[in-house]
Amino acid sequence: MATKKQLFSSSKSSSASMMPWLGVAFIVILLDQLSKIVILRTFAEHESKHVTSFFNLVLVYNPGAAFSFLGDAGGWQRYLFTAIAVGAVLFILYLLRQHAGQRLFCWALALIMGGAIGNVIDRIVHGKVVDFLSFHWSGSAFPAFNLADSAICLGVGLFIIDELRRVKKQ
């Protein structure tokens, strides 16, 4: 049976090894929220600024999830998506603590967690998510998104790569 000192030192080293990943998540949250503050102070809702032939900055609000899923559901979805994100963050913290030495896996988790928290902050403060990156081509437009969404997508991509590498090793 482990002594009190062993339990404490194990917990302390596990927390210390989580710090880089919490730092990555914090940077994602910081960049996401700063970019949204700039957009909110610069643009009116639906105002668009042409940047390139395929990219605009535009202020839109998304009360739903990805691609405005449940965007017109009447408001209850705000609490559902916030609860899902909080649950995901708690699970990610558990996984980071258990696997803090697996670099690619933890990069993926930290990016996903930072993005999820960035969008939760929007849901709490604005009641909906602030989106502003708009890509378009040949008359078609991809739904607007933000840096938090980008971090989540990058994290999912890294997670898939990590899993494919793990399967290939076996």
What is the maximum span of the chain, computed from C-alpha positions, in angstroms? 67
| From 32, 122, 131, 162, active-site residue | 131
| From 32, 122, 149, 162, active-site residue | 149
Neighbouring-strand partners of residue 134: 56
Query: Which residues have a Cβ under 8 Å from the Cβ of 48 and sit 6 or more positions away?
Result: 56, 57, 58, 134
Residue 149 designated active-site = yes
Report CA Rg, the chain. 19
Q: How far apart (Å, rounded) are the C-alpha atoms in residues 46 and 97?
A: 41
40 near 60, Cβ under 8 Å?
no
Neighbouring-strand partners of residue 130: 61
Active site residues: 131, 149
